[in-house]
Amino acid sequence: MTLTVEEARERLGIGRSTLLRMLSSGTLTGTKTHACGTPCGTPDTCKQGTWALDEEAVEARLQAGKQAS
């Protein structure tokens, strides 16, 4: 299952810009697609499209944060 940026942000308890930085750095995985359904070839610089984040990656990040605490 995939999550939107807003859903993932709420689960992680972080801001949108932090989540986008995590996607850019590879800390979280996701796929950015355009309205036509084509995957974005340059998601870090593209200003259009919608992110779909891997729910398992978000949950793994939550678990890693709990273990670090």
Residue 13 phi, psi dihedral angles, 5° rounding: 70, 40
Closest CA to 34 of 45, 53, 24, 47: 47
Number of domains in the chain: 1
Condensed to tens digits (0 to 9), the pLDDT of residues 6-54 reads 999 999 999 999 999 999 898 898 999 998 889 998 887 888 889 999 9
DSSP E strand stretches across the chain: 2-3, 30-33, 50-54
The boundaries of the domain holding residue 53 are 2-68
Q: Rounded to two decimals, what is the model's pTM? A: 0.79
